[in-house]
Homo-oligomer: A and B are copies of this chain.
């Protein structure tokens, strides 16, 4: 008899199999009990007919409780009409009868659920979210590998701030201070001179006191940097990558999307070209929609929501005013007041998922910017070096994994997108 994962059950119709799983639900009707089993790879209904068990086992079966762990052996059958499978239990053995499970069918407050995140992860919606997150991660690695990117892990422990010293977590590092990285971008820029196209993908940190539905203090970011590209090529790669990621989710996670009751129409639009508008067009559109945003201002969270609700596919917003963007962004060739940059906003009210730009590649211009931004030049000497020894036109972008997961899953709040969310008030479990 084969020991199988539930996901493979269709291959075993008419055969006896063994499954190890948890009881996600159970009910009984007379001498027949229905155990809804979950093994992490899928769900299956087990039918426990007392008359087919020994008296001892029949009695034991009544001890079942939610989340008990059990090994069952039985015959696999298929629903005559639907793509559903059942297992007629011949024998079973509990690994453990679970204590009364704290997460029930009643509504729980989000604080209670987050306090019990180690258990909440088991519920079907959370299971679906993490499976989709996993697909998005896998898709990223596949795309980067197939497109000649080399992974260069940037350091988390850094001696200084990448873009200024606010919102940084400080650490005692032996006899000095260190800071948790907000972005690996500057580090991986160094590696394009060795590898041409590189990326990192790891946790980054912001000590932001923001309590919005878009903010975590610890989240995963993928930074990519490419030598010899201009902004247009950069955006093309971003578009291809996001399309590849969403397509893999549509291919592998239809079941999970259904559990989340996600309308997949907007995801299916991903095959179409992304929208593109420049920052001043976006401002005009927002003003027409009733926002009080002024010319030259950055888009706030509410603006992004308002704007992206108008679209059914991601939108590139290009050429923000340089003064509201980071020091390392190159200026637009025809208007020095604009950054040669683009943010990618997810549609349906979700907003920014990628920020990217051409990087300033001229030593003197970059040095001037560092001074203008009052950044400590000493800490950027190594970064300036990259413009002394074979500087090249280059650009890159960074995506926030949790924001992409939130959009793809159609979630209200980013806190459900990561296994163990960290916010200003939450460090546990």
Which residues in A have some Cβ–Cβ distance to B below 8 Å? 5, 7, 20, 22-23, 39-41, 67-69, 95-96, 98-99, 101, 116-119, 121-122, 126-127, 130-131, 133-134, 137-138, 141, 145, 148, 150-159, 169-174, 176, 178, 180, 187, 190-197, 202-203, 205, 207, 209, 217-218, 220, 227-228, 382-383, 385-386, 388-393, 418-420, 422, 424, 427-429
A167 to chain B, nearest CB (A): 12
- Residues of the B chain whose Cβ atoms lie less than 8 Å from the Cβ of A393: 95
Q: Of residues A119, A170, A172, which shows the largest number of chain B Cβ atoms within 10 Å of its Cβ?
A: A119
16 extra A-B contacts, CB within 8 A, seeds A67-B390, A116-B385, A138-B145: A23-B390, A39-B196, A40-B192, A41-B148, A41-B196, A121-B190, A121-B191, A130-B150, A153-B203, A153-B418, A159-B428, A171-B171, A174-B207, A187-B419, A187-B429, A202-B203
Q: Which residue in B7, B99, B388, B420 is a CB contact (below 8 Å) of A99?
A: B388
A419 touches B159 (CB 8 A): no
Given contacts A195-B127, A203-B153, contact A427 B173 (CB under 8 A): yes
B173 touches A169 (CB 8 A): yes
- Residues of the B chain whose Cβ atoms lie less than 8 Å from the Cβ of A197: 40
- What 3 pairs across the A-B complex have the smallest Cβ distances? A40-B196, A382-B429, A118-B190
Could you tell me the distance between the alpha carbons of A148 and B95 in the complex, rounded to whole angstroms?
A: 22
Question: Which residue from chain B places its CB closest to the CB of A68 in the assembled complex?
Answer: B390
A392 touches B20 (CB 8 A): yes
Identical copies in the complex? 2
B159 touches A218 (CB 8 A): no
Given contacts A40-B227, A152-B130, contact A172 B174 (CB under 8 A): no
User: Can you list 15 pairs linking A and B with CB atoms under 8 Å apart?
Assistant: A22-B193, A23-B390, A69-B392, A96-B392, A98-B390, A118-B187, A122-B194, A130-B191, A130-B195, A152-B419, A154-B419, A157-B422, A178-B427, A202-B202, A203-B203
- Residues of the B chain whose Cβ atoms lie less than 8 Å from the Cβ of A40: 150, 192-197, 227
Question: Which residue from chain B places its CB closest to the CB of A5 in the assembled complex?
Answer: B148
- Residues of the B chain whose Cβ atoms lie less than 8 Å from the Cβ of A190: 117-119, 121, 429
- Residues of the B chain whose Cβ atoms lie less than 8 Å from the Cβ of A122: 193-194
- Residues of the B chain whose Cβ atoms lie less than 8 Å from the Cβ of A69: 390-392
- Residues of the B chain whose Cβ atoms lie less than 8 Å from the Cβ of A418: 153
Could you tell me the distance between the alpha carbons of A428 and B418 in the complex, rounded to whole angstroms?
A: 30
- Residues of the B chain whose Cβ atoms lie less than 8 Å from the Cβ of A420: 154-155, 187
Question: Which residue from chain B places its CB closest to the CB of A170 in the assembled complex?
Answer: B172
- Residues of the B chain whose Cβ atoms lie less than 8 Å from the Cβ of A220: 153
Q: Which residue in B7, B126, B176, B429 is a CB contact (below 8 Å) of A194?
A: B126
